Amino acid sequence: MKFYNSNDEGKVRIRFSTTASKVIQDDMSIFSVKSISEFINIVVANFYNEPANKASINHYLEIQESTLKKQLSAAGLDSNTIEHTLRYLIDKEGKTSKKRKKDEIKSTRMEVEEELQGYLTRKNTIPSKCYSLRNNVKELLSTLEEADFYYGMSAPYVKCTIEVYARLPFIERERIYKKEIYDLLNTAISEKLPLRIDTNVGDQILSFKVFPYKILPNDLHSEDFLACYTIPIDSEHTKRDKGPASFVLSKLTLKTVRIHSRNPSPLCNTDIKALEEAIRVRGIEFLLDDVDDIDVYLTEAGKTLCMTKLAGRPKINILPTQNEYTIRCSTYQAKKYFAKFGKDAIILSPLSLRNEMIEFYKEAIEGYQNYSEE
């Protein structure tokens, strides 16, 4: 049996769960996607080869076996040992009978199928809608062996794929949706090719020649960043030495990123060491900003907030008997982080940052005072 669509136009009618619907809307906003059908097609096409994709049961099991083989190979085992180990893991008693192997695989398959059936039968009040499938997704469906499980219907397979996707952490969803960008960046990194990246800086669009190093997550593993060196591409700054920088991948698109040159421009060891040190000191999100010594006073409530609000937090060691701290980070990071503390974090120095914080809170007060409900 093969997958088929409910009509000749390649449209499928699907009712997503409340969770999936919310994730779709959130991710469409983050990735600046206007069409739900476009979003669904990209996810289904890109998600097929991901280890987390359980919608294609056979392929999922193949990926798990392939991953295990790579792990065993990385341990330095020879091919015969790897095969024996795989057989042992499939059949814990080390027997090689096909029946035992089939039982193990069947058991794993049943677990996956039960989870997928949960996605298929989960009830909700969200109405079903029609979505168009692109030709590449139709071609993908034509290659799958799961048609019998889904009764030959494309809609349940697409639904399961999106439901699995929606339950992944954002950083994994980002890697799936923006697969083409990741592939482009990884190619540039492996081949040491310079990139051109156009990005918004304030109210301007600036272009940079980029020397990529690595794709790295932030400390909370909530977002990926491209760590690199950059040189502005404009007449005023072309002679400026390259400096460390990072770009958040959720904001990069194929329209704003491209290969600048096919001539390799590898980073030297000195550059790499300096970049790694900058990442260690500043954090991957704040490579563009110079660091400074920031003196801050924290109330007891502020110390508690500092221990619980981890996103964007400068490196600080909170002590029970201490309220004043000197933090080494950029003024931008300090302002962004401590602005939400209110009276529980007081910037003492530098004076310029202290005055910025005062103006920030003054403007907030004025906003509250001037606001009136109509």
Q: What would the pLDDT profile of 304-331 be if each residue is shown by its tens digit?
A: 999 888 888 888 888 888 899 998 888 8
Instruction: Check residue 108 and give its pLDDT.
Output: 65
Across the strands, what pairs with 330?
291
Instruction: Check residue 96 and give its pLDDT.
Output: 42
Neighbours of 231 (CB within 10 A): 18
Instruction: Check residue 361 and give its pLDDT.
Output: 92
| Phi (first) and psi of residue 194, to 5 degrees | -70, 150
Each residue's pLDDT tens digit, 249-268 = 988 989 999 999 899 999 99
The beta strand positions in 218-290, using DSSP E, are 224-232, 243-248, 257-259
The beta strand positions in 105-248, using DSSP E, are 129-132, 195-201, 204-217, 224-232, 243-248
Residues of the chain with pLDDT under 70: 1-2, 4-9, 86-109, 119-125, 201-202, 234-241, 373-374
Map out the domains of the chain as residue ranges.
Answer: 11-169, 179-286, 291-370
Instruction: Check residue 104 and give its pLDDT.
Output: 54
pTM: 0.76
Burial status of residue 177 (CB atoms within 10 A of its CB: 0-12, 13-18, 19 or more): buried
Helix, strand and coil in the chain, % to nearest 5: 50, 20, 30
